Every structure is written in structure tokens, then in C-alpha cells.
């Protein structure tokens, strides 16, 4: 167990530090010790659950969360889209910890609904500028050399409502168009090389089997680099709403390109300029000109606790501030936290060294004095890029965009522990 | 994307190799290319799922696997225990890939059933040889510095039926008393140091809130090293059957010690010699003497595909052989695969470098000629320990044990692709 954090403090060193924090814990709240002295029927009496049988193993061939966690679910926002079929279900990031997003509550977005497509009905075609057009069955895909990698998927529209001003009150809604899963599949490179790319092939166009087809163009360089034709997520088959049986992974690039129910890959000499990369998924600047092909998700972070859906309920003293950070350009190198709206910053602890294009969990152990906080986090990635403020981002991009808002988020934590989405200048 | 496998071959190098394998793929089966030429209504006609709406996002606030995967569930074996309450539900490892086990299908074992314990009803006591006995609420635990780590949990009885001979026909049943999850919680060291350990304290005794209490003694050295008081697994709250709201993680040590619904930690000067460490969870040798306190799970591996529940259905040619490896003493350093019952071995490819006390996925890309195979895998861990054969293990331990069988497993793969659990001498 020799893992060391980015600041060079080993586990033992950190834990020595935590003993000091523990002292503060007792001084700050005295909760634990007080309870040890006052009679508490929960510890002085034998409770019902210690007196009889619980559930047998036949109760849960496939288990679900316990009923007490019924609030930890994906949620949609009625007014955000015209209907629930072409819509978005946000990950409850305010209620999760660690880095893995369980499939059951992982962000979903589809343009014509989640379709049901069986493995026997599945086909993947590769055509266009290739030596040999190919059609693969699901079973064919399982026979190619396989890889397993953990990646985040972030929708380009994540945090999009923040361009105009602070809108949505909760990290689930401001930053929940994201998930982070361990994918297993075949590299796209393997399949493209199986077909053989003709010299004039410079792009691919990928589309799904659903009615929207959601076609997108991807430069061949990216397609041959790290894209994955995935059939498992977090060990098991993809869920229906995540593209069962096969989806594309385009690590670090906007989620719309991670085509679900992947049906066809056409090798082309130029981008197709599809709806999804012209009228949508482009970013209109202040002067009315739109940026297009803005594929990469820049470094970003958000404090998930405390936050509007996860207020402080325990009063002053020790407070674990935690959140998520990620970058489409590499690994997270560092996260800083500010409690005063960005005037001063302190380095947070990363739960593990950052991994390329995967979510990193950060922790910041704070002793809260009960005064208001303007809570922020700021990610730095392995390229040296630092997450910008909203002011910096607007100075460059204006406020007309929907997509690619990676600015620093501010939660105003009030003396009563509640939090609100606010802007600081 | 500069990750390199243990054999020093980078991704690009591997993929060049896979192109050659791809050639063999076509030569061996011609399936993909043939399909590209024959009319296939699944690609020549617009299918129903491309003509209408799918499910809206309101369909799955918390999603479940698609109905086509209804067989990928935990299963119990009726005759293995007296009833389903004190029993075992095996992970369907033959149907999973990657390394993460989803909570919904992760191995469960309980001695008096899975109890329902809410966070408000939860208390954790630390007493015995401590400076200050403490009782923590769930909310108290959330205020201590938090860590996130991925660990395997393996029941000591996993593969136990193999001592006497090959018994169970499927990797789910021979090796499915295991899971691998990303845990978030507070180190046990943090909590013990909060209470203050008296000089005479050398052990801890841990027990759960269920009727069985399942008490176990753990040396203080281990308790202060890497044990975790965990409240999340794979990002979300523990499931009821995994000890909601709080369980103990004892990395690399037998699963019985990972006490669920963790209620009490007593610091003692000696082991308690509880039922679970005397009449159970000891290993009777040939001479009738039992080993006790055999906590560590030694290095082990198993081929999950192909295997009895996952036969080869695609005929000769390219075949992905894959499986799992793990060690309670460190990281997996290497996995070798044999197709001839251990006469010759070839090194498998690890999906990622091994991590301490976590599962490693291995892949072995084989071209199957259709003849029978005696398929084995052999793990080597970072201490240099090599997984033994069944013959080697029996020579030392006899056949009277139930627990700690980490021998090499053999699947007899027949020319028709079916597989059986067999022994080789």
C-alpha cells in the first residue's frame, strides 16, 4: 500500500495529519463522545434487526438499491427539452462518491428514445473508402482482441445553462450530464484495419441504429488513436439506455459523438457536416459566428458536497468538501478549492493519481466556522491548462453558446448550511 | 494514451499485432466478409427500431439490465447450505468482463440474512482497550477524511468444493464467491486513533448488527494498515445485501472478516477465538490438525471464457480467452495461460497493470484449431508467488479443507466448444 498522492504525502503521512483533524473533530462537535456517554437505546438495547432473520439470497438475483436511497436516481428537467423522448436524465452526482458511476444512475441522453435492440438483431457495417466493406455480428466483435479502459463521458451541453447566469440549483442539474465507467470492447482501430482504409480516407462518419441515427464525423486520427467499440460497462452488458448491445467511446470528446446502438461506420474523405455538427453542437460566439468541430471537453471540476442538493446538516467543525474533476486532454494533475469565491486557493487531495480522460475524485478536509462560504473548485490538467472563471470564459466566448461551458462553479454556502448556485465577479 | 502492458508492448505495437490476428480472423471464419456480400435484411431493410420512438428518459430513473440479459444474475446452489438465509449467491463471472463487479450481481453471503438498517438507526461503537470509548452516527463517519480504493472481496470458501474433486460445472459456481468494487469510506486507523489505543491493545474484534453478528478478530497491525470503514461501493451507497449503510473492508483477507452492518469494534489484547475463527474458517489438514487465522487470500486466477457456462459457439479460428486474477498479498504481476493442461504456458495480456488487492483482467488471443483443450490460467503476484496446481496444494494441505483453495483450475474444452470442469494430474 505505497500509493502516494500528487503532493507527495504518503498514506501514513496523510493519516498522521488526519489525527490532528480528528482532534479538531472532537473539539468542534463532541458528537461522538457525547453519544458514548448518554444512554442511546440504539446501543443499549438489542434491536429488532439483531433478533431475527433477514432476507435470503433468493431475494435478490439482481439487486437494487435499498429503499432508503430511493432519491438517488437520475432526474430530468421538464422544461429543458420539448419532450421526455428527446431528452436528458442527469446523474445524481451530489449523492455519489468515488469515481465509478453505476449504470443504473448514469446520465442518459437520446434523440429519439432508447431503443431495444437484441444481439442477434445487431449488425455493424464498415463501408466507404475501405478495401473491403464489412458487416460484423455481435459474436464477430467478441472474437477480436479486447481492451478494458475507464473513461468519462460528458455531454457538450453539461453546464450549458450557466452561460447566461446561474440557473439550476444543484450539481446534479448543473454538472450531471456526465458519467465515468469502465468500458470493455474492441478498439475502433482494430476494426478499421480489418476493413483496410484507402489512402483517401481521412474521416469516419458514425451513426446509430435508432431513428435519429445521430450521425457524427470524426477525424481518422482520433478514430485510430483511442476510440473503442464497447459492449460492456462496469463489467456487465451496456444498459438499453446506454446503447445495448454496442456503443462507441470517443475518449475525452463530447458525449454526442459516443454513438449508441452503433450501426455503421463510413470512411470518408471529408466530414459529412451532419445536423449534429452544424445546426447543433456548435458554439455561437458574441459576433454571431459559430465555432464548429469543438470536440474536446476541456478540464473542468465541480464541488458535489456541499452543494444545493446536499446542504451541511451537521453544524460547524470538520467538513469533508468533495467533488469531481476531469479533462478531455489528459489526466487531472491538481485540483484547488476556494471557500472565498476564488480569492485564495488551497490544494485538494486526489483520491488517486489522475488517469487520462477519466474522472478524478478530490477531497478537501475543512474545518467550518459556520460563516458563509463561496465554494469553488479549479482543475488543472496534465497539459497545464487551468479551468477558467466564468468571467474569463465569457470574455472569449460571449454568452450565446449552449455547449462547452467548463467554467469554475460557485456555491454560496450560507451560515445555516444551505447552498445556492451563484455567480461571483 | 501511453499505457504499456507488462510485457512492454505498447498499444500501437499490440494493435499492429492484432492486424495479423485479424487476417487470421478472416481466414479462419470469413464470417464478416461473407455477410457483407450476402443479402441480410438486417442491413438492407429499415428496421422497426429505426422507424419510431424508443423509451423516454422518464422510463428509467434507476435503470436495470435489459431483458435480454436476464440470465446474468447471482445464483445460489440449493444443496450447498441448509437454507437460503444463511447462504451464498455467486457472481456471474462467466458473463462479465472488465474488472468492476456491479453491486446488483456481486457475490453475497450472509449468516442470518440481509438485514434492513437505516442510516438514522445506525451506530458504530469503538470500545475495549481505548482511551475514550466512542459511538459514531452515520453522519459522524461522513465528517472524517475520506478515501476511495478498489479491492476484491473473496470468500475463503471460494473454490472450496474443488478440494475433493471437480464438482461444480461453471466458473460462476467454482470461482464466483468474489467481487471487485471501488469502495469509499474512512480508514479504520482514523477511527481507532480518534478513540486512542491503549498500549495493551493488540487486536480488534469486529461484529455486525445482524443476528449472527459474525464476529472476527483482526490483528491491530492489519487494522491500522489498510482496513476501511466503507459506506459506498462503485460510487453509490452499499446495497442492503452488502451491509448498508456501513461495512468493513479488510483488503486481501478472507471475505468473512469484511463485517457487514458494522456495529462494534472492540480493542482487545488477544483474539476472541469466536465461532467464525475456530469451528469455521479454519483449515483441517491431512493429520487432522486445523490451521487457524489463515486470513490472506493467496494469488489465484480463473479462465471465465470459455468455460462450462460460456462455451465456444463460433467454431474454429480467433478466440478470446479471458479471465480474472487476484492476490491478497499484493498486485498481480503476470498471468500465463495453457491450452494443454499445464504442459506449456504462454503469457497473457493484462488489461491494466495489476493493483494491490484488486482484480486484474487478463486476455489471451488464441487461434483455435478445433481440437480439445485443457484450459488453465496461472497467476503470479508481486511477491513472486506462483499459483499452485491442485496436486501441489493437496500435497501440502490434503483434501479435508473447505477454505483457501487457490489451485489452478482446468476446463476441458471439447471439439464441439462445450467445456467441463475436470482435473489433470
Smallest CA–CA separation between A70 and chain B, in Å?
Answer: 9
* B188 phi, psi to nearest 5 deg: -60, -35
Chain A (31-60) residues lying within 8 Å, Cβ to Cβ, of chain B? 31-33, 35-36, 40, 42-43, 47, 49-60
Closest by Cβ to B58, choosing from A84, A142, A146: A84
| Type and span of the H or E element at B32 | helix B31-37
**How many beta-carbon pairs under 8 angstroms link A with B?**
427
Chain B environment of A123 (Cβ under 8 Å): 35, 40, 42-43
Q: Is B8 exposed, middle or buried (0-12, 13-18, 19+ CB in 10 A)?
A: exposed
Chain B environment of A54 (Cβ under 8 Å): 85, 110, 112-116, 210-211
Q: Work out the average pLDDT over B282-290.
A: 92
Contact A414/B at CB under 8 A: no
Smallest CA–CA separation between B394 and chain A, in Å?
Answer: 31
Kindly report, as residue ranges, where domains of CATH 2.60.40.650 are found in chain A: 300-422
Residue B202's Cβ-side half-sphere holds a number of Cα atoms within 13 Å equal to 5
- What residue ranges in B53-189 does DSSP mark as E strands? 87-89, 108-110, 123-128, 134-137, 147-154, 178-187
Query: Rounded distance, CA B172 to CA A265, Å?
Result: 36
Residue A337 Cα to chain centre, angstroms: 19
ipTM of the complex: 0.92
Contacts of A405 (CB under 8 A, 6+ apart): A158, A159, A160, A162, A163, A393
- A172 pLDDT exceeds 80? yes
Task: Give the tens place of pLDDT for each residue, B13-70.
Answer: 333 333 333 333 433 344 455 444 568 899 889 999 999 999 999 999 999 999 999 9
Closest by Cβ to A235, choosing from B102, B108, B125: B102
Task: Identify the CA nearest to A374 among candidates A354, A350, A390, A361.
Answer: A390
Query: Rounded distance, CA B397 to CA B404, Å?
Result: 10
Smallest CA–CA separation between B228 and chain A, in Å?
Answer: 13
Q: How many CB atoms neighbour CB B245 within 10 A?
A: 24
Share the mean pLDDT of chain B.
Answer: 91
Tell if the CB–CB gap between B235 and A104 is shorter than 8 Å.
Answer: no
- A278 pLDDT exceeds 70? yes
pLDDT category of residue A393 using cuts at 50, 70 and 90 = very high
Task: Give the tens place of pLDDT for each residue, A107-133.
Answer: 999 999 999 999 999 999 999 999 999
Chain B environment of A50 (Cβ under 8 Å): 115, 209-211, 213
Q: Work out the average pLDDT over A241-249.
A: 98
Q: Which residue of A has its CA nearest to B227?
A: A1
Q: Residue B38: its pLDDT value, please?
A: 65
Query: Rounded distance, CA A317 to CA A32, Å?
Result: 13
Q: Work out the average pLDDT over A86-100.
A: 96
Closest by Cβ to A226, choosing from B1, B108, B144: B1
**What DSSP string describes A188-208?**
HHHHHHHH-B-TT--EEEEEE
SS3 per-residue string spanning B203-255: EEEEEECCCCCCCEEEEHHHHHHCCEEEEEECCEECCHHHCCCCEEECCCECH
Least confident of A174-178, A311-315, B37-41, B103-107: B37-41
Query: Rounded distance, CA A409 to CA A335, Å?
Result: 13
Closest by Cβ to B76, choosing from A18, A58, A240: A58
**Percent composition of chain B: helix, strand, coil (DSSP 3-state, to 5):** 20, 30, 45
Best to test chain B binding among A143, A362, A365, A382 (most B CBs inside 10 Å)? A143
| A88: helix, strand or coil | strand
Q: Would you tell me the crossing angle of helices B188-195 and A11-29 to the nearest 10 degrees? A: 50
Angle at CA of residue B89, ends B85 and B90, nearest 5°: 160
Q: Under CATH, which architecture does the A300-422 domain have?
A: Sandwich (2.60)
| Type and span of the H or E element at A185 | strand A178-187
Chain B environment of A114 (Cβ under 8 Å): 54-55, 59-60
Q: Work out the average pLDDT over A394-418.
A: 96
| A79: helix, strand or coil | helix
- Tell me what percent of the residues of chain B surpass a pLDDT of 70: 91
CATH class of the region B87-291: alpha beta
pLDDT category of residue A34 using cuts at 50, 70 and 90 = very low
Tell if the CB–CB gap between A190 and B18 is shorter than 8 Å.
Answer: yes
Contact A101/B at CB under 8 A: yes
Q: Work out the average pLDDT over B132-143.
A: 97
Query: Rounded distance, CA A258 to CA B142, Å?
Result: 35
Chain B environment of A36 (Cβ under 8 Å): 125, 132-135
Query: Rounded distance, CA A357 to CA A180, Å?
Result: 9
Chain B (349-368) residues lying within 8 Å, Cβ to Cβ, of chain A? 349, 351-352, 356, 361, 363, 365
Task: Identify the CA nearest to A362 among candidates A327, A318, A307, A320.
Answer: A320
pLDDT category of residue A166 using cuts at 50, 70 and 90 = confident
- Each residue of B199-238: b (16+ CB within 10 Å) or e? eebebbbbbbbbbbbbbbbbebebbbbbbbbbbbbbbbbb
Query: Rounded distance, CA A189 to CA A54, Å?
Result: 50
Smallest CA–CA separation between B165 and chain A, in Å?
Answer: 26
Contact A110/B at CB under 8 A: yes
Chain A (308-347) residues lying within 8 Å, Cβ to Cβ, of chain B? 313-314, 317-320, 322
Contact B133/A at CB under 8 A: yes
Share the mean pLDDT of chain A.
Answer: 91
- DSSP structural state of residue A130: B
Chain A (370-399) residues lying within 8 Å, Cβ to Cβ, of chain B? none
| B22: helix, strand or coil | helix
Best to test chain A binding among B11, B64, B97 (most A CBs inside 10 Å)? B97
Query: Rounded distance, CA A90 to CA A107, Å?
Result: 5
Contacts of B132 (CB under 8 A, 6+ apart): A33, A36, B195, B196
pTM reported for the whole predicted model: 0.92
Tell if the CB–CB gap between A123 and B40 is shorter than 8 Å.
Answer: yes
Closest by Cβ to B116, choosing from A49, A75, A234: A49
Q: How many CB atoms neighbour CB A58 within 10 A?
A: 15
- A20 pLDDT exceeds 50? no
Amino acid at each position: 500500500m505505497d500509493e502516494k498522492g500528487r503532493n507527495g504525502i504518503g498514506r501514513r503521512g496523510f493519516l498522521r495529519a488526519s489525527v490532528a483533524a480528528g482532534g479538531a473533530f472532537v473539539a468542534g462537535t463532541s458528537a461522538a463522545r457525547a453519544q458514548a456517554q448518554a444512554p442511546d437505546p440504539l446501543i443499549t438495547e438489542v434491536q429488532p434487526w439483531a433478533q431475527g432473520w433477514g432476507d435470503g439470497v433468493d431475494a435478490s438475483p439482481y439487486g437494487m438499491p435499498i429503499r432508503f436511497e430511493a432519491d438517488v436516481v437520475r432526474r430530468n428537467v421538464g422544461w429543458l427539452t420539448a419532450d421526455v423522448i428527446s431528452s436528458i436524465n442527469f446523474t445524481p452526482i451530489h449523492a455519489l462518491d468515488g469515481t465509478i458511476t453505476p449504470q443504473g444512475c448514469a446520465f442518459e441522453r437520446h434523440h429519439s428514445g432508447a431503443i431495444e435492440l437484441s444481439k442477434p438483431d445487431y449488425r455493424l457495417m464498415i463501408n466507404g473508402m475501405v478495401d473491403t466493406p464489412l458487416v460484423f455480428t455481435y459474436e464477430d466483435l467478441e472474437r477480436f482482441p479486447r481492451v478494458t479502459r475507464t473513461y468519462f463521458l460528458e455531454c457538450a451541453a453539461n453546464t450549458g445553462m450557466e452561460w447566461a447566469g446561474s440557473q439550476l440549483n444543484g450539481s446534479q442539474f448543473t454538472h450531471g450530464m456526465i458519467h465515468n465507467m469502465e468500458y470493455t470492447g474492441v478498439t475502433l482501430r482494430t476494426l478499421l484495419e480489418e476493413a483496410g482504409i484507402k489512402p483517401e480516407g481521412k474521416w469516419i462518419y458514425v451513426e446509430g441504429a435508432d431513428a435519429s441515427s445521430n450521425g457524427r464525423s470524426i477525424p481518422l486520427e482520433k478514430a485510430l488513436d483511442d476510440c473503442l467499440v464497447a459492449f460492456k460497462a462496469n463489467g456487465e452488458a451496456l444498459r438499453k439506455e446506454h446503447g445495448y448491445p454496442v456503443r462507441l467511446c470517443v475518449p475525452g470528446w463530447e458525449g454526442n459523438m459516443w454513438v449508441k446502438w452503433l450501426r455503421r461506420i463510413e470512411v470518408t474523405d471529408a466530414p459529412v457536416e451532419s445536423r449534429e455538427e452544424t445546426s447543433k453542437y456548435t458554439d455561437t460566439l458574441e459576433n454571431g459566428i459559430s465555432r464548429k468541430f469543438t470536440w474536446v471537453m476541456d478540464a473542468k471540476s465541480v464541488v458535489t458536497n456541499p452543494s444545493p442538493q446536499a446542504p451541511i446538516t451537521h453544524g460547524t467543525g470538520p467538513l469533508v468538501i468533495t467533488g469531481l474533476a476531469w479533462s478531455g486532454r489528459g489526466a487531472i494533475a491538481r485540483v484547488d478549492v476556494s471557500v472565498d469565491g476564488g480569492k485564495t486557493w488551497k490544494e485538494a487531495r486526489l483520491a488517486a493519481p489522475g488517469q487520462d480522460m477519466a474522472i478524478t475524485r478530490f477531497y478537501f478536509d475543512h474545518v467550518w466556522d459556520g460563516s458563509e462560504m463561496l465554494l469553488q473548485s479549479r482543475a488543472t490538467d496534465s497539459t497545464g491548462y487551468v479551468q477558467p472563471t466564468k468571467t474569463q470564459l465569457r470574455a472569449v466566448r460571449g454568452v450565446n453558446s449552449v455547449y462547452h461551458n467548463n467554467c469554475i462553479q460557485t456555491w454560496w454556502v450560507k451560515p445555516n448550511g444551505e447552498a445556492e448556485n451563484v455567480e461571483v465577479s
